[in-house]
Amino acid sequence: MNDNSHSPTKPNSHQPHYVGVVARFGSPADLLAAARQISAAGYRYWDCHTPFPIHGLDRAMKIRPTILPWLVAGAGAMGALGALVLQWWANGVAYPLNISGKPFFSLPANVPIIFELTVLFAALTAFFGAIVLNGLPRLLYPGSTAASFARVTTDAFLVSIEAKDPQFHPERTAEWLRNLGAESVELCPAPEGDTTIPVAIKRGLLVLAVLALLPPLFIALARQHTTETPQEKPRIHIIKDMDFQPKYQTQAVSPLFADRRAMRPRVPGTVPFDPHWEPPPEGFLTGKIGSDYLTEFPIRVTEEVMRRGRERYDIYCATCHGWTGEAGPYDGMTSRRARARGEATWVPPASLTGQAVREQPVGKIFETITQGVVREGVYSMPPYAVQIPPEDRWAIVLYVRALQRARAPYPEDFQEAAATASTAGRGLIHDEPMNSNLAKDRRP
Amino acid sequence: MGSVMQATELMDTNSTVQSAMNPSTTGVSRAPQICIIGGAIAIVLGFVLSSSSPAGWLQDYLVHYTFLVSITLGALFFVFLQHLTRAGWSVTVRRTAELMAGTTPMLVAVAFLPIAVTLFIDGLNLYPWAASDFFLHHAELRHKTIYLNIPFFLLRAAFCLAAWWWLGRFYMTRSLAQDTDGDPRWTLVMEKWSPAAALLFTVTVTLAAFDWVMSLAPAWYSTIFPVYIFSGCVVGGLAGLILILLLAQALGFLSHRVVTVEHYHDLGKLLFGFVIFWGYIAFSQYMLIWYGNIPEESQFYLPRQQGIWLYVSLGLVFGHLLIPLVGMMPRAIKRNPWTLGFFAVWLLVFHWLDLYWLIKPNWHPTVGPLSLIGGILGGVGVFGIVIAIVLKGLTRYPPIPVRDPRLNEAIHHEVV
């Protein structure tokens, strides 16, 4: 920054100290001609200043192409490669996660990130590279103390030669510029007074630096106090969203009412009203009456319910239990994948058509869907009460019964199948209407 | 800028325009004829090589037809884009683009007739939905009969063709009118109508992309498809414009003083940008379909990932995107007529292949090398005819808009 400290103008050190010379030319054409002469004379630290871009000035000044494009290209390639390696390592190696059955490392999913990081790296390199290569920030340019510099953004065509140029000599260079056709030539003296940064600014920056340390300090403190897991609240709650709303929580206290209850009791003399509501059959919600499991369906069993059950089963159950409910090779995609990857914590699904589940009453199967299966304190099958409403759970139970009966038919089923085969000339048909006997639970 | 300099520039412009008006015409006059005869021979030879059945010829014909339309539309886009942005640099290359977009509409309209006529011939028509019994067997698509029926299809086609005809003629005739009376108001008129032209262009390209290409597979749909077609149009139009400009200068139809390396550099940058745009859109379409993995969407890519089509698909990824992306990036490549010309030819070939890849797998799970070579030959022939039409126009009309108010800016254009 402090240009008067290292001037190479040794021979004239006893004279007034100059940081450069500024020459003003009358027209862009004159400036172009002068620029050709100056570059031909071998000057290195010089520049032209114009109010607008002048065609041909780059060539006249013999400005070599910048290396910035190569830096940008290199940074872009680095961004692309970095994004690729990052995603390969994160998705394919460190934390493989099954996302809709796609390969862990799959190029199409990675392309957007590769593209974005390429653009980001290239853009940042272009931006900061241009700043650095231009020698910015430069608060004091040697020519800017000249009087003619004030008009450089309106109508002045200037050339400045810096004193650090080896060929610079105050009088000789000025005279030479005059001979090139300059309208005026000014020698720029070194700026007077102290050019160092004022103490006030230094102190201000120091205060800012200390203040900037506060946010990370708060974050560190917040982490310190909440290291126990699991956490009820996020460690640092920056964005509140809808987490804290001006409303009463259940059982909360309210100063508005005399009894201080936020939840208000029913107004005396009124009754809750829903024309469609009727009490569900006993055991409809739990699958049992008292401690006895239901052995018959608490709903009307129709073909429509069976279809509904099949649809819901295929959506919720088949991903693990498979389309047929048989354990082993016919498991669903999730189970097969978990076994193929040797997941240590994976509990293979139970066979729905095996003896054990066949012998369960319908209420027990319903309860299993509702509550899940806990083994050694961990859910080996999660509860589905949240996802599946009770009537759908019963429909699934019905369909499971159908799957079981398809696997282990009753003797009369064979007679029926034989009768169908002889009349229609076909074998067992998958989509035949369901035998209404199925509605009854006929465990042996 | 100093008045002295401006005056010298204007004098310089006048002498440049004079030289541009009287191009050296030795051996020039026969070039269009040679192009048109050579083009016709290439097309016939291409048809002979590629197929031996009328259905196969018709399929190739559709590829060539969309190729012709896309180059015309790319040029039209370039023309109204210059007015939309009030561009000064492009004035000297605009006439060539105006001719590309303004003298071809009749050819584009007439060449649609075989496609329209064969719609009524079961067994020969290109579009499955036009077969009389199609919707009997495809009950799940029956709701599309509102849109996919022959009268409405022809109505939309007529609308598109009329719109392109009108747009192409609009810009050419007004630009030519300015040549005679020098009234700067023509420029204002063309600028004023360019937003409307952009809207009309968008609607018609969307309709044409849906109707002529996407409806070849009536069950498949992709909402980004018209954008994909549009990006290909601009790549084809710009590559075609660059190639025709280079040829016109090499053959003496256009002065070297009016279209300089600076114009080629900017055209090359535009082309480079739209190559990336094409890749961006193509991948956007692919990734959503790949991620969703829904049968009615992925049925488009499935046949294109099998057999020889897999290699054509990969060829497009490299030839239409990655190789030009790296190859056209350096400044020097775009400023050298030979390297820029090479990439113009390269991208025209791959733009044709892109259309071939969109259209042909609808019938053919595989394609033989002879058929592909025949197809490319036909594409070369189509472009030969475009060259002939434009070169003819360059001799009939002033090869640059000689009295455009921004002509001076264009002649002294420099990429800083």
For the stretch B372-381, pLDDT in tens is: 999 999 999 9
Size of interface A-B (CB pairs under 8 A): 34
> Contact, A395 vs A312, CB < 8 A?
yes
pLDDT in tens, A361-372: 999 999 999 999
Paired strand residues for A23: A159, A185
Q: What is the pLDDT of residue B326?
A: 93
Cite the DSSP H helix spans in B259-364: 261-292, 295-298, 308-316, 323-327, 331-335, 337-359
Sign of the Cα torsion B328, B333, B337, B342 reads negative
Q: Would you call the peptide bond into A230 cis, given omega within 30 degrees of 0 as the criterion?
A: yes
Distances (CA, A) of A257 to A248, A263, A266: 13, 10, 14
pTM, full prediction:
0.72
Query: In chain A, whose CA is at the least distance from the CA of B2?
Result: A27
pLDDT in tens, B314-350: 999 999 999 999 999 999 999 999 999 999 999 999 9
Contact state of A29 with B290 under an 8 Å Cβ cutoff: no
Contacts of A58 in chain B (CB under 8 A): 416
Whole-angstrom distance, CA of residue A398 vs CA of residue A404: 10
Q: What is the pLDDT of residue A228?
A: 60
Contact state of B293 with A100 under an 8 Å Cβ cutoff: yes
pLDDT at residue A293 greater than cutoff 90: yes
With DSSP H G I counted as helix, E B as strand and the rest as coil, what are the percentages for chain A, rounded to 5? 45, 10, 45
C-alpha closest to that of A1 among A137, A134, A129:
A137
Pairing outcome for strands A288-289 and A373-375: unpaired
Arithmetic mean of pLDDT, B165-190: 94
Q: How confident is the model at residue A444 (pLDDT cuts 50, 70, 90)?
A: very low
ipTM of the complex, rounded to two decimals: 0.83
> Contact, A114 vs B283, CB < 8 A?
no
Contact state of A112 with B287 under an 8 Å Cβ cutoff: yes
User: Mean pLDDT lowest for which of A43-57, A108-122, A224-238, B96-110?
Assistant: A224-238
State the nearest Cα–Cα gap between B287 and chain A, in angstroms.
Answer: 6
SS3 at position B389? helix
pLDDT in tens, A323-339: 999 888 888 888 888 88
Considering only residues A234 and B363, tell me which one the structure prediction assigns the higher pLDDT: B363
Fill in the DSSP letter of residue B142. G
Contact state of A111 with B414 under an 8 Å Cβ cutoff: no
Contact state of A56 with B414 under an 8 Å Cβ cutoff: yes
pLDDT in tens, B127-148: 999 988 898 888 889 899 999 9
Contact state of B329 with A73 under an 8 Å Cβ cutoff: yes
Distances (CA, A) of A124 to A68, A117, A243, B66: 12, 10, 37, 41
pLDDT at residue A240 greater than cutoff 80: no
Instruction: Characterize A154-176 residue by residue with b for buried, 16 or more Cβ atoms within 10 angstroms of its Cβ, and e for exposed.
Output: eebbbbbbbbbbebbbbeebbeb
- The CA dihedral of B74, B80, B82, B86, to the nearest 10 degrees, is -170
- Name residue, tokens 């009203």: A273
Whole-angstrom distance, CA of residue B139 vs CA of residue B147: 15
Arithmetic mean of pLDDT, B15-39: 73
Considering only residues A196 and B45, tell me which one the structure prediction assigns the higher pLDDT: B45
> Contact, A168 vs A46, CB < 8 A?
no
Which residue in A65, A69, A111 is closest to B287 by CB distance? A111
Distances (CA, A) of B308 to B47, B322, B365: 20, 20, 8
Query: In chain B, whose CA is at the least distance from the CA of A77?
Result: B326
- Name residue, tokens 């090499």: B250
Alpha carbon B101 to its chain's center: 9
The full set of domain ranges for chain A reads 18-189, 288-414
% residues pLDDT > 70 (chain A): 87
Contacts of B329 in chain A (CB under 8 A): 73
Tokens, residue B360: 């042909």
pLDDT in tens, B352-369: 999 999 999 999 888 888
Which residue in A27, A53, A58 is closest to B4 by CB distance? A27
- Name residue, tokens 């509860």: A383
Cite the DSSP H helix spans in B119-193: 134-137, 150-181, 185-192
Contact state of A73 with B2 under an 8 Å Cβ cutoff: no
Contact state of B5 with A29 under an 8 Å Cβ cutoff: yes
Q: Would you call the peptide bond into A268 cis, given omega within 30 degrees of 0 as the criterion?
A: no
Pairing outcome for strands A292-293 and A288-289: antiparallel
Q: What is the pLDDT of residue A5?
A: 44
Which positions ≥6 away from A403 have C-beta within 8 Å?
A324, A325, A352, A353
Q: What is the pLDDT of residue A429?
A: 42
Q: How confident is the model at residue A211 (pLDDT cuts 50, 70, 90)?
A: very high
State the nearest Cα–Cα gap between B368 and chain A, in angstroms.
Answer: 29
C-alpha closest to that of B186 among B406, B404, B13, B396:
B404
Hey, which residues 3-22 in chain B have their CB within 8 Å of chain A?
4-5
Helix B225-250 to helix B337-359 angle (10° resolution) is 140
Sign of the Cα torsion A37, B331, B86, B250 reads positive
- Interface probe with B: pick from A55, A58, A114, most Cβ of B within 10 Å: A55
State the nearest Cα–Cα gap between B3 and chain A, in angstroms.
Answer: 9
C-alpha closest to that of A54 among A155, A176, A184, A166:
A155
Q: What is the pLDDT of residue A70?
A: 93
pLDDT at residue A304 greater than cutoff 90: yes
> Contact, B141 vs B219, CB < 8 A?
yes
Contact state of B1 with A29 under an 8 Å Cβ cutoff: no
Fill in the DSSP letter of residue B365. S
C-alpha closest to that of B363 among B128, B47, B50, B112:
B128
Mean predicted lDDT score pLDDT of chain A: 84
pLDDT at residue A3 greater than cutoff 70: no
Q: What is the pLDDT of residue B44?
A: 92
Which positions ≥6 away from A285 have C-beta within 8 Å?
A390
> Contact, B223 vs B248, CB < 8 A?
no
Query: In chain A, whose CA is at the least distance from the CA of B326?
Result: A73
State the nearest Cα–Cα gap between A70 and chain B, in angstroms.
Answer: 10
State the nearest Cα–Cα gap between B267 and chain A, in angstroms.
Answer: 19
Would you call A27 an interface residue with chain B, using a CB distance cutoff of 8 Å? yes
Q: How confident is the model at residue B21 (pLDDT cuts 50, 70, 90)?
A: low
Would you call B322 an interface residue with chain A, using a CB distance cutoff of 8 Å? no
Instruction: Give phi and psi for B290, each to the nearest 5.
Output: -65, -45
Arithmetic mean of pLDDT, A29-51: 90
State the nearest Cα–Cα gap between A154 and chain B, in angstroms.
Answer: 11
Arithmetic mean of pLDDT, B226-244: 97
pLDDT at residue A100 greater than cutoff 90: no
Query: In chain B, whose CA is at the least distance from the CA of A32?
Result: B5
C-alpha closest to that of B217 among B313, B158, B160, B144:
B144
Whole-angstrom distance, CA of residue B206 vs CA of residue B199: 11
> Contact, B301 vs B228, CB < 8 A?
no
Taking phi first (over 0 means left), then psi (-120 to 50 degrees means alpha), and beta for anything else, what does residue A283 get?
A: left
Mean predicted lDDT score pLDDT of chain B: 91
> Contact, B394 vs B254, CB < 8 A?
yes
Contacts of A108 in chain B (CB under 8 A): 283, 286-287, 290-291
Would you call A69 an interface residue with chain B, using a CB distance cutoff of 8 Å? yes
Paired strand residues for A292: A289
Contact state of B2 with A29 under an 8 Å Cβ cutoff: yes
C-alpha closest to that of B154 among B194, B207, B224, B227:
B207
Contact state of A29 with B331 under an 8 Å Cβ cutoff: no
Instruction: Give phi and psi for A64, each to the nearest 5.
Output: -75, 150
Considering only residues B316 and A198, tell me which one the structure prediction assigns the higher pLDDT: B316
Hey, which residues 276-305 in chain B have their CB within 8 Å of chain A?
283, 286-287, 290-291, 293
Which residue in B5, B330, B412 is closest to A28 by CB distance? B5
What amino acid occupies position B144?
A: K
Pairing outcome for strands A378-381 and A373-375: antiparallel
Considering only residues A181 and A401, tell me which one the structure prediction assigns the higher pLDDT: A401
Contact state of B290 with A108 under an 8 Å Cβ cutoff: yes
Q: Report CA Rg, chain A.
A: 42
Cite the DSSP H helix spans in A61-213: 68-87, 107-133, 170-179, 199-212
- Name residue, tokens 């497009």: B316
Q: What is the pLDDT of residue A279?
A: 84
pLDDT at residue A433 greater than cutoff 80: no
Contacts of B283 in chain A (CB under 8 A): 108, 111
Distance in Å from the first CA to the final CA of chain B: 17
On the CB side of B39, CA atoms within 13 Å amount to 19
State the nearest Cα–Cα gap between A103 and chain B, in angstroms.
Answer: 11
Whole-angstrom distance, CA of residue A408 vs CA of residue A357: 12
Query: In chain A, whose CA is at the least distance from the CA of B285?
Result: A108
pLDDT at residue B246 greater than cutoff 90: yes
pLDDT at residue A2 greater than cutoff 60: no
Tokens, residue B61: 């014909």
On the CB side of A191, CA atoms within 13 Å amount to 14
Contact state of B2 with A27 under an 8 Å Cβ cutoff: yes
Tokens, residue B187: 């420029």
Would you call B2 an interface residue with chain A, using a CB distance cutoff of 8 Å? yes
Q: What angle do CA B364, B368, B373 make, to 5 degrees?
A: 115
Contacts of B411 in chain A (CB under 8 A): none
Which residue in B2, B293, B331 is closest to A28 by CB distance? B2
Fill in the DSSP letter of residue A409. -
What amino acid occupies position A115?
A: F
Q: What angle do CA A348, A354, A356 make, to 5 degrees?
A: 90
Number of neighbouring beta carbons within 10 Å of residue A220? 9
Paired strand residues for A185: A23
% residues pLDDT > 90 (chain B): 74
pLDDT in tens, A379-425: 889 999 999 999 999 999 999 999 999 988 888 888 877 777 665 54
> Contact, A18 vs A212, CB < 8 A?
no
Which positions ≥6 away from B160 have C-beta within 8 Å?
B204, B207, B208
What superfamily would CATH give domain A288-414? Answer: Cytochrome c-like domain (1.10.760.10)
Whole-angstrom distance, CA of residue A205 vs CA of residue A281: 76
Contacts of A55 in chain B (CB under 8 A): 412, 414, 416
What amino acid occupies position A112?
A: P
- The CA dihedral of A337, A340, A341, A342, to the nearest 10 degrees, is 120
SS3 at position A293? strand
Which secondary structure element, helix H or strand E, spans residue A47, and what is its range? strand A46-49
Which positions ≥6 away from A284 have C-beta within 8 Å?
A298, A299, A390, A394
- Interface probe with A: pick from B12, B293, B416, most Cβ of A within 10 Å: B416
